[in-house]
Structure 1
Amino acid sequence: MGYLNNVIGYRDDLLASRSIVRHGNYALLTPDGLVKNIIPGFERCDVTILSTPKLGATFVDYLVTLHQDGGNTTGFGGEGIETFLYVIEGSISVEAGGERFALTQGGYLYCPPDMLMTFKNQQAADSQLFLYKRRYIPAAGHAPYRVCGHASQLEQVHYEGMNDVILLDFLPKELGFDMNMHILSFAPGASHGYIETHVQEHGAYILSGQGVYNLDNNWVSVKKGDYIFMGAYSLQAGYGVGRGEAFSYIYSKDCNRDVEI
């Protein structure tokens, strides 16, 4: 199965997986098949690389489990690479731009492309992070800046007027930012208003609940702990299903830039 659920070694059944990979189009990565990666700078961490350019994305997503005293003290990002960190669970300290922040579950930090972030677990138990990086695309006369906060402090927007679909926007809607990060939450039975088709890419980590997602007109069952990549023009939409718990996921979207030719 995988290291995240500690089901490894000898099997008494056939090997099987819910994961789906369609390079450049879409992918569903389930926690059962994820593996650890050794990356310089990450100490006492289990790091899984999710979306990358090898899959067809213009960004890289990571799932990082920080063990006791684990973290990255050499720096993540910088040199033209913008970064975003979201605390899935636990408690960490983060430093960026000469300031230190204490972040707990729901806390987040965006760093512009000229700024490194470092982070460390602040509890004996494991903490878990969703990390993102992308090469920043400048816009003349505009620049991004560091943004830090907590999801509970963000405005809850009724997505396209639907009161059972809630959208959170993490970054300001300003031309200095060439991407944004969001959380979209569906009450059981709620859905998108239509199947979307657009040039923007998404990398989405499911934080809670269960859903049924349309990926290039294939309806796929998904749940907490799954990761979805949606490439440019991949058809996409979702339903919340299950009992009581919202179907909720954090996802990135490139924005505020014209298409280069």
Structure 2
Amino acid sequence: MTTSRYYSNMGGLPPQTDLLSSKAVFTTAYAVIPRTVMSDIVTSMLPHWENARAWIISRPLSGFAETFAQYIMEVAPQGGSARPEPDPRASAAIFVVDGEMTIEMDGQQNQLRTGSFAYLPAGSEWQIWNRSDAPVRFHWVRKAFQVVDGLDMPPAIFTHEDDCVLDPMPDTDGKWATTRFIDPSDIRYDMHLNIVTFEPGAVIPFMETHIMEHGLYVLEGKAVYRLNQDWVEVEAGDYMWLRSYCPQACYAGGPGRFRYLLYKDVNRHPAL
């Protein structure tokens, strides 16, 4: 089995001797869900799934982040679902952080492993199964697809991080770069799921303030993130949830790379 390059050590329960103090916070502008609170007791079972559990780390909330839901799924050997998605409006973006699984779609068996990405269009029929001898863990982003008159539905995507170009941000000497699983020039897609990589010492050199909502799951390393008026230390396994226009920036102090999985909504007019 492929050795994981991404944080995937969810579950368990803290001992009775641990302190209650935590960096978990929920504000009107952002939320931080640290890895220490993603225990066994906050998981959910899902209808029509077998031998599987979910950490639901974001969901639409009125007045907060409204466009998406994000799960961390853990599926045991021989588990999965023939009916994974209950909403025909929902598109899916999936990223595997540990293990192997199969997505069946349009008569094709698509094999995914650690580092694999899949985009599944709204209305498509798909199944997902773990036919390996070890659990598989993956992120699953669900979004109600915004249909646009005159635009074709976007096709499915199956790829792997190793097959994608690491695209450096301008004037950063490659220290801040993005792995893009979906072509940013293809306007048919209304969301992106990227991996952002910072080398030690790299920064976001201004307070980003924009319409896109974000889910940021730290895959590797640690950094200090500026969220609205606060500096927050984050590390591998932590999750940040940002509403539209929340000011944000980052300083990656090292010693190793800082990498996170980034959701954002794109390419559509705001609803009025």
Q: TM-score, normalised by structure 2?
A: 0.89
Cα RMSD over matched residues?
1.7
Cα distance, 1:224 vs. partner?
0.4
**Match of 2:257?**
246
1:32-43 matches, cutoff 5 A: 32-34=36-38, 35-43=42-50
Cα distance, 1:140 vs. partner?
1.8
Match of 2:140 among 116, 131, 135: 131
Please say which of residues 174-183 and 54-63 is displaced more in the overlay.
Answer: 54-63
Equivalent position amino acid for 2:21 in 1: A
SS at structure 1 position matched to 2:60: coil
Match of 1:29 among 18, 24, 33: 33
Unaligned segments of structure 2, at least 5 residues: 1-8
Matched, 1:6 2:23: no
Query: Contact 1:78–1:112 (CA<8 Å) still a contact in 2?
Result: no
**Match of 2:104?**
95
Equivalent position amino acid for 1:159 in 2: M
Residue 183 to residue 200, structure 1, CA distance change in 2 (3 Å): same
SS at structure 2 position matched to 1:152: helix
4+ runs deviating over 4 angstroms? none
Equivalent position amino acid for 2:236 in 1: K
Equivalent position amino acid for 1:15 in 2: L
SS at structure 1 position matched to 2:251: strand
SS at structure 2 position matched to 1:32: helix
Match of 1:167 among 171, 174, 178: 178
1:73-92 matches, cutoff 5 A: 73-76=82-85, 79-92=88-101
Match of 1:69 among 78, 93, 96: 78
1:221-232 matches, cutoff 5 A: 221-232=233-244
Q: In structure 2, how many angstroms separate the alpha carbons of the residues matched to 1:43 and 1:256? A: 35
**Match of 1:258?**
269
Cα distance, 1:73 vs. partner?
2.3
**Match of 2:3?**
none
SS at structure 2 position matched to 1:242: coil
For residues 9-54 of structure 1, the C-alpha deviation after alignment (integer angstroms, 9 at most, x for no partner) is x61243222211114x211111221211121122212211011113
Query: Contact 2:49–2:84 (CA<8 Å) still a contact in 1?
Result: no
Cα distance, 1:116 vs. partner?
3.1
Q: In structure 1, how many angstroms separate the alpha carbons of the residues matched to 2:188 and 2:11? A: 40
Query: Contact 1:77–1:133 (CA<8 Å) still a contact in 2?
Result: no
Equivalent position amino acid for 1:98 in 2: G
Q: In structure 2, how many angstroms separate the alpha carbons of the residues matched to 1:13 and 1:154? A: 41
Q: TM-score, normalised by structure 1?
A: 0.92
